Amino acid sequence: MAINIVVPSLGESVVEATVAEWLKKEGDAVAVGEALVRLETDKVDLEVGAEQAGVLAQIAQPQGADVQVGQVLGMLNLAGESRAAAAPAAPPAALRADDKATPVARRVAQEAGVDVSRVPGTGPGGRVTKADVQGFAGQPKEEQPTAPVMPPPPPPTTAAPTVVSADAGRSVERVRMSRRRQTIARRLVEAQHTAAMLTTFNEVDMSAVMDIRSRRKESFKEQHGIGLGFMSFFTKAVIAALKAFPRLNAEIEGDEIVTKHYYDIGVAIGAAEGLVVPVLRDADRMTFAQIEQAIKAFAQKVDQGTLTLDDLRGGTFTITNGGVFGSLLSTPILNAPQVGILGMHKIESRPVVVNGQIVIRPMMYLALSYDHRLVDGREAVQFLVKVKQLIEDPEALLLEA
């Protein structure tokens, strides 16, 4: 008896995916729950596992193929059927039946020649992470298990780069854009074509926040197990400004204005395939420590490739921090259908005038991009001034929060 391997439900608003990698080849025995194929959507990667033990009889959709929910990816002959000479052997004791490894960890393991099934996992639910593989690969040879290394998966069939020679000594490389990169490109162009997008700028003196962090960082970390970063301050300041200027927490649906009376703040995090924006749900109800812990957890998920669609769903306003990459000033693009996004930047010591005196202060440029169809210039400027005032006066920030 054979069963179809189909594209599962991909979550809210996601109906298509790309076959990123087959983790098994035709004829391979698989255990219940073992990952067969990795799919790439415009938001996250996910693995499709075997519903029953058996043998991978057919691959219907090769690597690089675009597929839709419910479409057949391949066929699985159940254990004991005639496709294989024998039912799949039980995996060795050291091999986890479901081979829990993130896509990033799997790729690093392949590059390092490491059998990922032998790597102890420290991630959620025992999942093997990139750091686990790197640590395992760095052990002395005599410490590593002597089991044979699993062969790498078959070479890509459609998504491999094509090198085209032009003139002597010169070449170009053509690589198909990933689904996520295609979606990022499309959404960014749509945002600029559909919104009347403008950006207003200001600068903020970071002295007060940096002083608090310097005085409180040790006790904060001891109490909460997390460092006190800048993002919690800016998240709280943004929420207070959104309450004062609610149009920035709204969106346009047809000819209606939909104002949100909750505060789901998206935090842009850099990933290999481009920025992703996981969302802090009800951020107005979160403490500084909870905000910092949630952002750290999101960053770990990004690194491990374990972000879920629910992590990315919705959002009423977005904060992006180009300063972590050294950006001094930029114009952030709206995360549609949101109508506002705050851009943070690099902190630099600059001469400024305070009470008639020239002093050196740690300054940061802030940028607010907004949809002028809904937000007037006056309230956009006032919103950004409100954020500036709260960051420069953290006592007021704490009182408003």
Number of alpha carbons in the 13 Å side-chain half-sphere of residue 140: 2
Instruction: Give dist(CA 366, CA 384) in Å, integer.
Output: 8
Residues ≥6 apart with Cβ < 8 Å to 98: 31, 32, 33, 34, 35, 49
Q: Please say whether the beta carbons of 43 and 180 come within 8 A.
A: yes
**Cα 7 from Cα 12, distance rounded (Å):** 15
Closest residue by Cα to residue 332 from 363, 364, 365, 367? 367
- What DSSP state is assigned to residue 120? P
- At 21, is the secondary structure helix, strand, or coil? strand
66, 282, 310, 372: which is the annotated catalytic residue?
372
Out of 211, 282, 376, 393, pick the active-site residue.
376
Residue 376 is among the residues annotated as catalytic for this protein:
yes
User: First CA to last CA across the chain, in angstroms?
Assistant: 61
Would you state the structure tokens that stand for residue 344, as one six-digit string?
């943070």
User: Is 372 annotated in the active site?
Assistant: yes
Give the residue numbers annotated as catalytic, written as ranges: 372, 376
